[in-house]
Every structure is written in C-alpha cells, then in structure tokens.
Structure 1
Amino acid sequence: MTKILVLYYSSYGHIEQMANAMAEGARSGGADVDIRRVAETAPQQVVEAAHFKTDTAHPVIEGPDALKQYDAIIVGAPTRYGRMPSQMAAFWDTTGGLWFTGGLIGKVGGAFTSTASQHGGQETTLFSIITNLMHHGMTIVGLDYGFQGQMGVDKVRGGSPYGATTIADGDGSRQPGAEELDAARYQGKRTAETAARLKG
C-alpha cells in the first residue's frame, strides 16, 4: 500500500477542507493517508486580530525528515500575493538536507490552493509550490481534464490543470463548493494511483 501525506497550511479553513477532500480521494485510490499541517509562524497578535482558524484535528508535521516515509506528498496552501504563504515556505526552507541527499527523488507530488478571486494568483501560487517539489526530484500530478468539473464559466468555480483550487471571496465567506471538493478528491485519487504505479 502506498503512503501519502497531505501537507497544508490554512488561515481560515478553506485549505483544510480541501486537504480533507484530497485525503478522501487518495484513500479511495488505495493509499494510506496522513494529514499534517505546517506550524503557524505569524505573531499571536496577528493571528488573533485576523481571526485565523486555530482549531483543527490535524497535528503539525514533525519536521522535514518525516517526508521521507511517504510515497507521495500533496501540498496545499492559500495564496499570498501570487505565491505560497511564508508559513509553508518556511517549512520547505528547512528541507535542504533532504535535497542534498536526494531524499525525495522519485516520489510523487502535487499542489492545491485557495484565492480570494478567480484571478487572484491561483496558478502562480500552485507553481510556487510545484517548483519546490520539482527541485526535490518529485513527479508532479495535477488536476487533468479528466475532471470536467473545472470546465465552464457559468458560475464561480476553482480548478486548474496544475492542481485543485477553491475561491474564498475577499472576506472568506465563500466555502469550497461541491465541484471544488470533488476536484481535490479526483487529484488525490490520481496521485495515489500514480504513486502505486511508480512504486511497482
């Protein structure tokens, strides 16, 4: 059985919901899945003033060496000015030892994100995550067009060939829709299936 990590950072719970759906999809693809989050690095007064969501069932990842035990790692984070937030970047900045030893080469990776608007940097944020994974030698699984729920302009919807996405609106009031959660499940399942094939 392949082992998959869904690693995320979520300020207001949108990415946390997508992480849960991603894990559901990976499990449906036959994988054993763990969900972990990266540590909050914002000052406590900022967390409180911005009303960040701090209650979660998912523990903080133990450290970069924990990544070695997984066959695939799917990384989710909201956008910060078109890139991953500092909380997630800070974690990946600690993985130099893994890079030096090639600890993640040949593993499968993927990304998902959330933005306030439809043109709020979804694809650049996904790429800011994916570039880290590619530098580690990982094989990337996106959200291919086998998932047709990302098509059409009849309503607000997330989705990108580079990874599942959701749109939160400027005040965070819009929650992930059914199709966006299905997109995460689809990508999670495809990641599990790909990891199983590569593991042989």
Structure 2
Amino acid sequence: MKPALILASESPRRKQLLSEAGFSFDVVPVKVSEIPNKNLNVNDQILDIARRKASAALPLLKSSRQDAFIVLCADTEVIFNGAPLGKPADRQDAYRILKLLSGKYHEVITAVCLVESSTGKEVSQTETTKIYFRQLTDDEIWTYIDTGEPMDKAGAYGIQGQGGKFIERFDGPFYNVVGLPIDLVKNLLSKF
C-alpha cells in the first residue's frame, strides 16, 4: 500500500494544482521562517526553505498519524538579477517589484521536497521557468495592485490570474510559476 500524501502548505494554489492533477492527499499547513540562508546559492536557499517546511511538518504529523505518509513541501521564489524578490510587504513594495520586472526577464524557481515518514527518505529538486514581462505603464501597475492579487505572491504577480496579461512569453513549466511543478512532483513521487 502506498503511503498517504500530505501537502504541508498554506497555499491554496498548491492545493488546487494537486487536486486538478488527480492526487488524493491531506493538507496540513505549516509555518516556518522563509528568510533565506544567505550562505547558500539561490537554488539551495529555496531548497532549504522547502526542507525546513518538511522538518517542521514531520514531527507534527508523526504525533497524530499511525500510517506511513509522504510529506510534500514546496517553496517558490521570483529571482531577478540573481536575488529573490519575495512577496510584497505593501502596495508600494508591489509597485516597486512590478516596475523592476517591467520590460525585463526574470526566473521563477520552485523547490519541491518530499520526505517519507517511516524511512526518512528525502527527494528534492528545483524547477526553473524563465518569464519575460512586457513593458508596463504606471497606470497598469496601480490598476493591478488595486485588485489585491499581487499582495500574497512572490514577485507580486499571479501568472494564472490577471498578472498573466503582463507576460510576453515564458520558457519552462507553467505550473512551476503558479507554485507547484506537477510533472516534477510526479517524477519525485515515483522514487518512493
């Protein structure tokens, strides 16, 4: 019997993507510090945050479950000029981020970490998508900010929502930008 899959995330987008992909899973939200370890390169910083989420979720889940399970954690960052942009702190910060991305390219990196509860086996990997933004006017940026959509998203936009209209093109998996590269998840799960 395959172990149960547990999504350790507060992200409604990750939950939706897993559901739409046909996975059966439970959700257990976890909160950890998402401050990156500056001693690591950007890819490893993002992997480190996903691993921290798994480390926080495992003891909570082990204390409440008798069955074996696989915990799935992820972290997504928007990288511009080699540095993570994070989520906007407020409306002005959202404007700053979107203005920075306007007319330029950036990368979206998602780290996926899976850990099996009974063996402690971990598999993790990152996925990268390159995004090209068209030139944005100040009016477009403020109108978008007024929707509230950018406020809880890395890079201050959602490709699957109204922010998608800012994208000229992208190279790499679409769902990676939404927050969970489903093909990578399937690949990593096949290793258990």
* TM tier, smaller: 0.3 to 0.5
Which gives a bigger RCO, structure 1 or 2 (Cα 8 Å, sep 6+)? 1
> TM-score, normalization: structure 2?
0.39
